[in-house]
Amino acid sequence: MSIFILGEHEDGQLKSGTLSCVTAAQQLGEDIHLVLIGSGVSALSEQSKSLPHVKKIHVLDHADYAQPIAELVAPALAAIAADAQFILAPASTFGKNILPRLAATFDIQPLSDVIAIHGPTEFTRPIYAGNALQRVKSEQKRQLMTIRPTAFAPVATSGGSAEIVAVTPPAAPARPAKFVNIEQVKSARPELTSARIVVSGGRALGSAENFKIIEALADKLGAAVGASRAAVDAGYVPNDYQVGQTGKIVAPDLYMAIGMSGAIQHLAGMSGSQVIVAINKDPDAPIFQVADYGLVADLFEAVPELMKTL
Ligand code: FAD
C-alpha cells in the first residue's frame, strides 16, 4: 500500500505540516513516499533524505513549478502518484488548494482535515466548525486526504535514508493559470501555525495602532501574533493573522485571547491549545468557557500591567 505525501516547502525548508503528514502516513503503512515539486528543490531533497520512515523522495525540479499553482501541480502529482493508494497533503492553504483539484482528476471524493486514522478506510474529521466529529468510512479505490497538522506530532528530521528519484518534467504543461505576484508579510516572529505561544487580539483593540499592544506582548513572550476575523476585517492586521474556521488552525502550548468574545468560528481554530488564557471585560463572554485562566478586566489596563511584570 503506497502512501504518497505532497511536501509543502518554503524558502528551501520543509514546512512542519509535511512532517506531521509523515506521522499520519505511518499509521497507514510502511511504503511512504515524499513528493517535492518546485524550482531549485534539489538541495531540499538532500536535506529531506534523512526524514525517518520515508522510503523514496520523488523530486520534480523545474522552473515551471517555481510557484505552487494548483492547475500545474495537481496534474504533475497525479502522474507521479498514479499508482498510490493514499495521497496526503497538509490541511494548509497549500494542501487545501491542490488536493481538491487532484481529487477531481481522479474523480474521487477527498477527505479533508483528517484528525485521526483508525485504519486504511476509517478516519475522523471535524465538521460544523469543529462542533462535531465525523467518523468516515471510505471504500474508494484510493484515499486522498488533507491532514490537520496540529493533530499529528511532526516526525524528527533525522534518522532516515530515503532514495531520491528525479522526475522528468512533463512536456510543457498547459497554462490555465499564471502566477502574477505574491504579497506576503515577512516577520521575525515565529510562524503562527507552529508557534509554541500565540497572542491574539480581537475587535476590542479598536485600531491598528492599538493592536501594537498585542504585538509588543507577543514579542516579549517570543510568540506569534493571531487575530479574530473581526480584527482582520477591520484592517487592524493582515488577514494571514486570522485564527479560526476560515483562518489558521493553531494548537500552541499557550494561547492568549485578548479582547475577543470567543465566537464558535474562532474557537474552531484554537480550542486544541494546551493552555488558554482570556482577558475580557465581560464576565459572560463565551471565551471564558474554554479558557483555563480568565481575567475579567479592561485589556488596556491589564496588558500594560502584565508587560511590566514580565
Ligand atoms: P467581538 O465578538 O465583537 O468581541 C469583542 C470582545 O471584546 C467582546 O467579548 C467584548 O466584551 C470584549 N471587549 C471589548 N472591549 C474590551 C476591553 N477594553 N477590554 C477587554 N475586553 C473587551 N471569526 C474568527 O475569529 N475566525 C474565523 O476564522 C471566523 N470565520 C468565520 C466564518 C463564518 C462563516 C462566519 C459567519 C463568521 C466567522 N468568524 C470568524 C466571525 C465570528 O463569528 C465573530 O464575528 C468574530 O470572531 C468576532 O471577533 P471578536 O471576538 O474579535 O469580536
The mean of the pLDDT values for the chain is 94
- Centre of ligand 1 to C-alpha 226, Å, is 12
* pLDDT over threshold 80, residue 177: yes
More confident residue, 210 or 185: 210
pLDDT-derived band of residue 172, with 50, 70 and 90 as boundaries? low
- Centre of ligand 1 to C-alpha 43, Å, is 43
How do residues 126-167 score in pLDDT, each as one tens digit? 998 888 999 999 999 999 999 999 999 999 999 999 999 999
How do residues 84-105 score in pLDDT, each as one tens digit? 999 999 999 999 999 999 999 9
pLDDT-derived band of residue 169, with 50, 70 and 90 as boundaries? confident
* pLDDT over threshold 70, residue 124: yes
Specify the ligand 1 atom closest to the Cα of 260. 51
- The pLDDT > 90 percentage for the chain reads 88
How do residues 208-236 score in pLDDT, each as one tens digit? 999 999 999 999 999 999 999 999 999 99
Query: For residue 167, what pLDDT is reported?
Result: 95
How do residues 27-43 score in pLDDT, each as one tens digit? 999 999 999 999 999 88
- Centre of ligand 1 to C-alpha 174, Å, is 43
Residues with CB under 6 A from ligand 1: 202-204, 228-231, 242-247, 259-261, 263, 265-266, 269, 279-282, 285, 298-300
Environment class of residue 295 by beta-carbon count within 10 Å: exposed (0-12), middle (13-18) or buried (19+)?
middle
Left if phi > 0, otherwise alpha if psi is -120 to 50, otherwise beta: which for 271?
alpha
* pLDDT over threshold 70, residue 173: no
Report the distance separating Cα 265 and Cα 254, nearest Å.
19
- Centre of ligand 1 to C-alpha 201, Å, is 9
- Which single residue is written with the C-alpha cell 506530532? 153
Report the distance separating Cα 196 and Cα 203, nearest Å.
24
pLDDT-derived band of residue 114, with 50, 70 and 90 as boundaries? very high
Task: Tell the residue nearest (CA) to atom 20 of ligand 1.
Answer: 280
* pLDDT over threshold 90, residue 184: no
Q: What is the average per-residue pLDDT within 279-290?
A: 98
Instruction: Provide DSSP, 6-49.
Output: E--EETTEE-HHHHHHHHHHHTT-SEEEEEEEESS-HHHHHHHT
* pLDDT over threshold 70, residue 22: yes
